[in-house]
Amino acid sequence: YLYLGQRTALKIMQIIREEMDRIGGQEFYLPALHPGELWKESGRWEQMAASMFQFKDHSERDMCLGMTHEEVMTDIARKELRSYRQLPQIWYQIQVKFRDEARPKSGLMRLRQFIMKDSYTFDLDDAGLDVAYKKHYDAYCRIFTRCGLSYEIVEAHSGAMGGSQSHEFMVVSPAGEDQVALCVKECGYAANLDKAGARVQPVKDLEGEKKPEVFSTPNVRTIEELVAFAQVKPEHLMKALVYVVPGDKEKKEKDQMVLALVRGDHQLNEAKLTDALGGAAFRPAHPEEIRQQFKAQAGFIGPLGAKGVRVLIDEALRGRRNLITGANQDDRHVRHVTPERDFTGEYADLRMVADGDLCPRCGRPLKIAAAIEVGHIFKLGRRYAESMGARVLDRDGKEVTLVMGSYGIGVERILTAAVEQHHDAD
């Protein structure tokens, strides 16, 4: 940006510095160029490869441009922190970050180079992390209020960052690239769409107690086609989606096939699937993998008789009966399928919340709105410190793993959100 944008960005950064210093933050300025070995220690070198600028230097060592600094900060902590007497610590910086966005956009919303305030806390235990998290939560509220923003604080999915809890600070705007679920009655429930839950609305099952019956459905592959062909409602169908959790090749682990089941009128939320899989990376199964495992093509897949497959069932299917799903035969489906009677699996919340679903807190309708994410805070716990060996001696002289938090603010995103909320008609 040019002169006016630079002046505005500097004012935003000054507000951030004042509020970070107020909670005891110490400002750092660290390299944007990272050795790949740190990211390999944390296990994120491969996990983040699709969105990270990775390359080799002249000595053929793996390097990357930092998109965040958990690994670098943890490396400093394990070298500098030795005793509980040095805790707690709040370290922050305001620095350029890099992300290899697949679809970078014009403006300041989704860039390959961006300015971020990232801070990291180090504590002796979970109680200390709770205090640090609350300090950042309150500081972020003051920062965004001082920047003149009207914002929502929503429950969020931690994603590749990991951790036990996270919140996003969202500015509701048609220009936003994220979506949030908000209770229309303002009971206080607000969540990122990746995290949002909803009460299951009961539906009437098809009548009868018959055993599963295979029937012919030539070239009927989609939910819409099956609804028209079988003359039923989408909620009477059970959608089956196949994913693969890659095994660790170095440990000679085999890939794991996963069958995710949701109601025919619902969409699968892959962030929730990540949680159900314990944070494991996964990908959609290839057509040839589906054929080999189920002896049928996609569109005719179901849980009956599936062997060597982990079956995950959405909570909205609990207690349902007489559903229609794929028969694991080309051009065939099967009716009168009842979970638990005809097949078993693990229940989990897998569905994507939709506009008009019922609030999990008060039962009133939810509204889905576009929003700009301006801040995100995470309780990382011991994930990074454990994998990288960041430990200190506690009061009893016992070595314990540091407990971490991570907190980010997008400087350009604040600038964009302020423009969106306060621009004039021209």
Given a contact cutoff of 8 angstroms between Cβ atoms, the answer to whether 360 and 188 are in contact is no
Q: Quick one: pLDDT at residue 98?
A: 94
Q: Quick one: pLDDT at residue 251?
A: 77
How many domains is the chain built from? 2
CATH code of the domain in which 28 resides: 3.30.930.10
Question: At residue 268, what is the residue type?
Answer: L
Could you tell me the pLDDT band of residue 159, with boundaries at 50, 70 and 90? low
Burial of 321 (0-12, 13-18, 19+ CB in 10 A): middle
Q: Are residues 153 and 233 in the same domain?
A: no
Across the range 253-276, mean pLDDT stands at: 94
Given a contact cutoff of 8 angstroms between Cβ atoms, the answer to whether 163 and 379 are in contact is yes
Strands (E), 276-410: 283-284, 309-314, 323-326, 332-337, 346-348, 366-381, 391-393, 399-401, 403-410
Q: Are residues 394 and 276 in the same domain?
A: no
pLDDT at 106 over 70: no
pLDDT digits over 79-97, tens only?
A: 999 999 999 999 999 999 9
Could you tell me the pLDDT band of residue 10, with boundaries at 50, 70 and 90? very high
Residue 198 lies in a domain: no
pLDDT at 408 over 80: yes
Q: Are residues 235 and 127 in the same domain?
A: no
pLDDT digits over 366-384, tens only?
A: 999 999 999 999 999 999 9
pLDDT digits over 325-368, tens only?
A: 999 999 999 999 999 999 999 999 999 999 999 999 999 999 99
Here the tokens at position 81 are: 């922190």
- Rounded to an integer, what distance in angstroms lies between the CA atom of residue 80 and that of residue 73? 10
pLDDT digits over 196-248, tens only?
A: 999 988 899 988 888 999 999 999 999 999 999 999 999 999 999 999 998 87
Q: Give the Cβ contact number of residue 37 at 10 Å.
A: 13
Range of the domain at 126: 3-171+373-422
Q: Quick one: pLDDT at residue 209?
A: 82
pLDDT at 392 over 90: yes
Reference 304, options 256, 236, 295, 282; nearest CA is 295
Q: Quick one: pLDDT at residue 111?
A: 84
Bridge partners, residue 381, by sequence: 404
Strand, coil or helix: what is 385?
helix
Question: At residue 297, what is the residue type?
Answer: Q
- HSE of 337, CA atoms in CB hemisphere, 13 A: 25
- Rounded to an integer, what distance in angstroms lies between the CA atom of residue 295 and that of residue 288? 10
Q: Are residues 336 and 383 in the same domain?
A: no
Q: Quick one: pLDDT at residue 163?
A: 63
Residue 244 lies in a domain: yes
pLDDT at 120 over 80: yes
Tell me, what DSSP letter sits at residue 159?
A: G
Q: Are residues 142 and 288 in the same domain?
A: no
Bridge partners, residue 377, by sequence: 167, 407
The mean pLDDT of the chain is 93
Q: Are residues 151 and 281 in the same domain?
A: no
Residue 393 lies in a domain: yes
pLDDT at 263 over 90: yes
Reference 133, options 23, 7, 278, 291; nearest CA is 23
Strand, coil or helix: what is 104?
coil
Nearest-5° Cα angle at 106, 101 to 111: 35
Residue 190 lies in a domain: no
Residues sharing a CB contact under 8 Å with residue 89, sequence separation 6 or more, in sequence order: 26, 77, 81, 121, 122
Residue 368 lies in a domain: no
Across the range 52-57, mean pLDDT stands at: 95
For the ranges 106-115, 156-165, 400-409, the one whose mean pLDDT is highest: 400-409
For the ranges 36-45, 101-110, 207-216, 251-260, the lowest mean pLDDT is seen at 101-110
Q: Are residues 153 and 262 in the same domain?
A: no
Here the tokens at position 204 are: 């009437």
Q: Are residues 285 and 238 in the same domain?
A: yes
Residue 204 lies in a domain: no
Residue 203 lies in a domain: no
Could you tell me the pLDDT band of residue 162, with boundaries at 50, 70 and 90? low
Could you tell me the pLDDT band of residue 311, with boundaries at 50, 70 and 90? very high
Residue 361 lies in a domain: no
Burial of 132 (0-12, 13-18, 19+ CB in 10 A): buried
Q: Tell which wins on pLDDT, 1 or 220.
A: 220
Across the range 285-295, mean pLDDT stands at: 95
Could you tell me the pLDDT band of residue 101, with boundaries at 50, 70 and 90? confident
Q: Are residues 17 and 155 in the same domain?
A: yes
